[in-house]
Amino acid sequence: MNKTNEYKETLQRICSQYELPKEFTNDSIKEFVSKNGSLQSIWGLCNKDLSDADFSKINEETFINLAFNEYTEFPENFKFDYKKIMEEAKNPGLGIRDLQKQGIVGKGINVAVIDKPILETHKEFLSRIKEYVFVNPESEFNDKMHFHGITCASFLCGNTCGVANGANLYYYVYPDKYENDGMYWNYHFKALDMIIENNEKSNTDDKIKIVSISAGFPRDRTDLTARMGKYVKELKDTGCYVIFSNIFGETFVCSSKTYIGNADDFDAYRLDIWQNNEWDKQRILIPAGGRTSPCNSGNENFMYDGNASCYSWAIPYMCGVFALALQVKSDLSYNDFCVLAKETAYKNNARLSVINPKEIIMRLSE
């Protein structure tokens, strides 16, 4: 069995492990997806036969919280234009596509993602992947694909969903099989060793400038904090910046959307209920929820990921904006990028600061 067929079977098995609400109402759907990170909040309506379901009691604002894919069977004459929603949600938003039309695409910038196995032949990555590197080449799980990595990589530099869709991607693959967090982070540290080695032997054009890691650890884990700190410093000294949750969260925060229609509208971005705190309100919002990503089930397949806000999707987006900035000013440090992001952030109607990529690029171009 090839790995895409195996992934389809895995996806079907995952989506069969939970039941949909007996009645679709705004309240029942909100309850259904309320537990962040649960199977139903991640997969929603994916692989479900809803041809006889009644959606008359829910509105579009509620519907966009639900994930769905090409295997979701909607009723005939379905009230929401789900195909349009899926297509519109490929847009990174906030003026990114305008910048791309001007040639600001992260050209010449090498970025790395450390994550689980993906369908590297997906059309979203054609001409994007420079190297696909196995962190543990001997693992029997290197072909066990996972939705997390393909989403992160595409939001950073995918051809249609990505912010820096002209950047070169080095994808470091660790197997989706580990016994504890020590083993999990050892995969990341081994990948960082490989990145250091790559940069030491490479000329300037082949050096990796940004490492995107959609993961983090509690600050009381002093063992991990100390070890990661050494990697961050060593790579920073060579002009390469490692961005993971702990560093990202010092300046930025993830966000979801109030509606899908216009991803370029700063007023469309909000904090989720779980982010109702003063700390998150002071940080800069990065798009995360309400996006479409490629799917491992086929080279041309996509899925709408739902509208849940999460760090995992926001980190590669922010790294993508940083890559655009590096195309304009190659010696820009991450710290200076964060300062510029604060200075140029757009204050929306909810009095929340939203990253402003076009203004960042304009300031760097002056």
Neighbours of 366 (CB within 10 A): 4
Cα 243 from Cα 222, distance rounded (Å): 18
- Per-residue confidence (pLDDT) for residue 224, from 0 to 100: 92
What string of H, E and C letters represents the secondary structure of the chain? CCHHHHHHHHHHHHHCCCCCCCCCCHHHHHHHCCCCCCHHHHHCCCCCECCCCCCCCCCHHHHCCCCEECCCECCCCCCCCHHHHHHHCCCCCCCHHHHHHCCCCCCCCEEEEEECCCCCCCHHHCCCEEEEEECCCCCCCCCCCCHHHHHHHHHHHCCCCCCCCCCEEEEEECCCCCCCHHHHHHHHHHHHHHHHHHHHHCCHHHCEEEEECCCCCCCCCHHHHHHHHHHHHHHHCCCCEEECHHHHCCCEEEEEECCCCCCCCHHHEECCHHHCCHHHHCCEEEECCCCEEECCCCCCCEEECCCCCCHHHHHHHHHHHHHHHHHHCCCCCHHHHHHHHHHHCEECCCCCEECCHHHHHHHHHC
pLDDT at residue 261, as a whole number: 80
Which pLDDT score is estimated for 1?
63
Tokens of 203: 């000329």
Check if the beta carbon of residue 126 is closer than 8 Å to that of residue 133: no
**Burial tier of 351 (Cβ tally within 10 Å: 0-12, 13-18, 19+):** exposed
Poorest-pLDDT segment among 165-169, 174-178, 336-340: 174-178
CA 267 to CA 351: how far, in whole Å? Answer: 9
pLDDT tens for each residue of 308-317 = 999 999 999 9
Looking at residue 200, its pLDDT comes to 93
What mean pLDDT comes out for the span 276-289?
95
pLDDT value at position 179? 86
Q: Which residues pair with 257 in a beta bridge?
A: 269
pLDDT at 96: 98
CA distances from 282 to 13, 42, 306, 337 (A): 41, 27, 25, 17
Average pLDDT, the chain: 95
Do strands 208-212 and 241-243 pair parallel, antiparallel, or not at all (unpaired)? Answer: parallel
Q: What is the pLDDT of residues 44-91, one digit of tens each?
A: 999 999 999 999 999 999 999 999 999 999 999 999 999 999 999 999
191-243 confidence digits (pLDDT tens): 999 999 999 998 888 999 999 999 999 888 999 999 999 999 999 998 999 99
- Alpha carbon 37 to chain centroid distance? 14
Segment 246-265, tens digit of pLDDT: 999 999 999 999 988 899 99
Give the tokens for residue 248: 């990202």
End-to-end CA distance of the chain: 55
Task: Give tens-digit pLDDT for 12-25.
Answer: 999 999 999 999 99
CA–CA gap between residue 311 and residue 286 (Å, rounded)? 9
pLDDT of res. 46: 97
Give dist(CA 24, CA 55) in Å, integer.
Answer: 6
The answer, yes or no, to whether residue 182 has pLDDT greater than 90, is no
The pLDDT tens digits of the residues spanning 308-353 come to: 999 999 999 999 999 999 999 999 999 999 999 999 999 999 999 9
Residue type (1 letter), 130: K
Instruction: Return the sign of the alpha-carbon dihedral for residues 276, 278, 279, 281.
Output: positive
